């Protein structure tokens, strides 16, 4: 059974996608905090101390790759699990994986999903990461 006291930061520049993530996870009773770009995500993460971050890759101001890199360098936030979501593959045919992100950025997300995301897979990944 999921821990209902967990806080999830949902980061995406598209409101519909933020809503989708929250609806996919709402039955587990998590508290949600939202941000619309990577820069705001870093501010919200520092202020809110989430237990999990679910973040888009392509966003204005600071993309998800750069935000992940910065999160991993912050002693207070580096252990927070991060799930990256992207529509890059659907748009370009170039598909990433958690390992490819590590190779590209030097940092690896805890999970990586191409959009459109299966809500059951997202929920399972969130539960697994929050159970750690």
pLDDT in tens, 94-125: 556 555 665 666 677 899 898 899 999 999 99
Q: What is the CATH number of the domain that holds 47?
A: 3.40.50.2300
Look at residue 20 and tell me if it is in a domain: yes
Determine the Cα–Cα distance for residues 23 and 49; give it in Å rounded to an integer.
Answer: 21
In a domain, 101, yes or no: no
For residue 95, being part of any structural domain is answered with: no
pTM of the model: 0.88
Report if residue 14 sits inside a domain.
Answer: yes
Residue 50 has pLDDT above 60, yes or no: yes
In a domain, 94, yes or no: no
Which burial class, exposed, middle or buried, applies to 72 when counting CB atoms under 10 A from its CB (0-12, 13-18, 19+)? middle
Domain that holds residue 79: 7-89+112-130
Contact call for residues 13 and 57 (beta carbons, < 8 A)? no
Q: How many domains are there within the chain?
A: 1
Q: Look at residue 23 and tell me if it is in a domain.
A: yes
């Amino acid at each position: 059974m999921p821990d209902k006291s967990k806080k999830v930061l949902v980061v995406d520049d598209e409101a519909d996608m933020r809503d989708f993530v929250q609806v996919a996870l709402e039955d587990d009773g998590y508290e949600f905090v939202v941000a619309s770009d990577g820069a705001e995500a870093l501010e919200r993460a520092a202020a809110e101390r989430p237990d999990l971050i679910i973040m888009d890759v392509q966003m204005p101001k600071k993309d998800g790759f750069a935000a992940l890199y910065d999160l991993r360098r912050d002693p207070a936030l580096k252990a927070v699990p991060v799930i990256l979501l992207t529509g890059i593959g659907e748009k370009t045919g170039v598909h990433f994986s958690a390992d490819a992100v590590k190779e590209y950025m030097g940092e690896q997300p805890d999970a990586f999903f191409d959009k459109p995301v299966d809500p059951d897979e997202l929920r399972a990944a969130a539960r697994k990461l929050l159970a750690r």
